[in-house]
Amino acid sequence: MFGGLLGVTVLADALVRPRGWRQLAGIWLHMLIILAAYGVLLALCGAPMVAAVATAALGVALAFVSNAKSGVLGEPLLFTDLVLVGAVFRHPQFYLSALSHWQLATLVLGAVALLLLFAGQFATALTPHLAGLMLSGVVITLLVATLSLMPWRRLAGDADAEADVATLGLLPTLLLHWWRWRATPNPPMSVAGVPAPPNVELAVLVQCESFADPADLFDDPALQLPGLVEARRAAWLQGRLLVSGFGAYTMRTEYGVIFGRSESELGFRRFDPYLTASHDAGYALPARLKNAGWRSLFLHPHDMRFYGRDRIMPAAGFAELVGPEAFASPTEGRYVTDDAIADVIMARAAAAREPTLIHAVTIENHGPWPADRTGAHGRQSSSYLQLVARGDAMLLRLIQEIAELRRPAVLLFYGDHRPSIPGAVEPGGDRHTPFVLLRFGADGKPIPGTTKATDQTPAELHHALIAAITA
């Protein structure tokens, strides 16, 4: 039975992308993880064959989900993804839409079958439950001891999920990355303000959902966005934002721009920096501006508990969270529109009587978007083109209305990641999104800067924004 269990899971792991020859150290960890899982399930149900089937099914399901995720987002399953299991049930539209109908049906039917098997074959005798408990305890102890030995201490030294999955396998990578993440020290506390007194009274930051240049996405210059073209012409700084995610992971980009800590500084925390962002609160732009007498608002028309924003943003110095209740209900589509968000941004900006930072995160352009027609250079998505045009109209509106305030101000507008559109925009190519940073004088006119496009990581854009505020 054990041989069959290990054989099935090793075979499933061999099919996980990216594929490669697994090191013996990784196979050893895989075996221990599977035996530990078998022991836990045996302790729960008391039926050896049921526990073996459930363990094998779990291993196959993880491989299945990892490959599905890789096909849509270009990354294998990460240990931080497992933290979001609860969010899958609270916000299923964000996750299940990435699966095809047959993939979703397979997972649901498989889960139901396993639950029925557990319920029907549950053993009332105490002995097999105790045996499972003892087995899991022994194997987990051996697993911890293994991780402390030199050959395994050298594994997964860098936060490179694709390389580690290819050489070690999925389950060992999940375990090792979690192990390294736990050992990552917190950064020194920071209470620094901005390096010079701010020379503006208003800073508006907009992280626009899946905002990318269609001319780049679909290789068609005719699809240029007029607002983006105008913003680039008037920008103090503009160019490509080098985001690390594709099709998802909004929080990585959001964290970099707000907190300014690079992925190399984060190490294994880079996969989901919001899990530990409370330790970085002093680095956040609102906290730094607060020392200069600024008040900061965070606007997002969605459940603030998502990514723990309801806890993280106040700790980061945001004095007020403006959530779904502040926005007009959507009259079309699934989400609050970009235009409704612009209404709230400008109302708050016009009413501000003290230096104010407004950080808004949009949601209207959230996928999925079908690839439904062929353009001049390949397949496109009319659904995406329609929604991204609304984000572009929002950008143009903000430029015009901030200028009308006649106050020294800055506007930063950027995309969190590119869209994943099967058949049209898929992982494996460029990941960058556009950003524009504009400075406005007291007369409302944009202050010119460099005309050359630059590449910025989200953390570098954080520091560029501070330079614009204090220039």
191 assigned to some structural domain: no
Residue 27's domain spans which residues? 2-182
Backbone angles phi, psi at 194, to 5 degrees: -75, 155
pLDDT score recorded for residue 88: 61
Between 174-188, 230-244, 336-350, 367-381, the lowest mean confidence (pLDDT) is in 367-381
Verify that 238 and 286 share a domain, yes or no. yes
399 assigned to some structural domain: yes
Between 74-88, 192-206, 343-357, the lowest mean confidence (pLDDT) is in 74-88
Verify that 174 and 306 share a domain, yes or no. no
pLDDT score recorded for residue 114: 66
* Alpha-carbon torsion (462, 463, 468, 470), positive or negative: positive
Q: Per-residue confidence at 1, pLDDT binned at 50, 70, 90? A: confident
pLDDT score recorded for residue 85: 72
Backbone angles phi, psi at 367, to 5 degrees: -70, -175
Q: Select from 225, 316, 245 the least CA-distant residue to 276.
A: 316
Verify that 229 and 127 share a domain, yes or no. no
Number of domains making up the chain: 2
Q: What is the CATH number of the domain that holds 327?
A: 3.40.720.10
197 assigned to some structural domain: no
pLDDT in tens, 110-125: 677 767 666 666 677 8
Verify that 159 and 41 share a domain, yes or no. yes
Q: Per-residue confidence at 275, pLDDT binned at 50, 70, 90? A: very high
pLDDT in tens, 438-455: 999 999 999 999 879 999
Return the ∠ at Cα 140 (arms to 131 and 184), rounded to 5°.
155
Q: Per-residue confidence at 26, pLDDT binned at 50, 70, 90? A: very high
Q: Per-residue confidence at 376, pLDDT binned at 50, 70, 90? A: low
Verify that 170 and 235 share a domain, yes or no. no
pLDDT score recorded for residue 98: 57
Verify that 143 and 273 share a domain, yes or no. no
195 vs 349, residue with greater confidence: 349
pLDDT in tens, 391-438: 999 999 999 999 999 999 999 999 999 999 998 999 998 999 999 999
- Contact of 436 with 232, CB cutoff 8 Å: yes
Q: Per-residue confidence at 4, pLDDT binned at 50, 70, 90? A: confident
Helices (H), 247-381: 250-259, 263-266, 285-290, 309-315, 338-351
328 vs 265, residue with greater confidence: 265
Q: Per-residue confidence at 55, pLDDT binned at 50, 70, 90? A: very high
133 assigned to some structural domain: yes
Verify that 140 and 259 share a domain, yes or no. no
Verify that 141 and 226 share a domain, yes or no. no
190 assigned to some structural domain: no
pLDDT score recorded for residue 378: 76
Verify that 137 and 251 share a domain, yes or no. no
Q: What is the pTM of this model?
A: 0.92
pLDDT score recorded for residue 101: 64
Q: Per-residue confidence at 91, pLDDT binned at 50, 70, 90? A: low
Percent of the chain with pLDDT over 90: 78
**How many C-beta atoms surround the C-beta of residue 89 within 10 A?**
8
Percent of the chain with pLDDT over 70: 92
pLDDT in tens, 73-89: 999 999 999 887 766 65
pLDDT score recorded for residue 97: 59
69 assigned to some structural domain: yes
Verify that 314 and 359 share a domain, yes or no. yes
Backbone angles phi, psi at 439, to 5 degrees: -115, 140
Q: Per-residue confidence at 225, pLDDT binned at 50, 70, 90? A: very high
Verify that 295 and 166 share a domain, yes or no. no
Which residue among 128, 154, 182 closes a domain? 182
256 assigned to some structural domain: yes
Residue 103 has pLDDT above 80, yes or no: no
Q: Select from 242, 266, 237, 223 the least CA-distant residue to 418.
A: 242
Which residue among 182, 217, 252 closes a domain? 182
pLDDT score recorded for residue 328: 80
Q: Per-residue confidence at 342, pLDDT binned at 50, 70, 90? A: very high
Verify that 382 and 426 share a domain, yes or no. yes
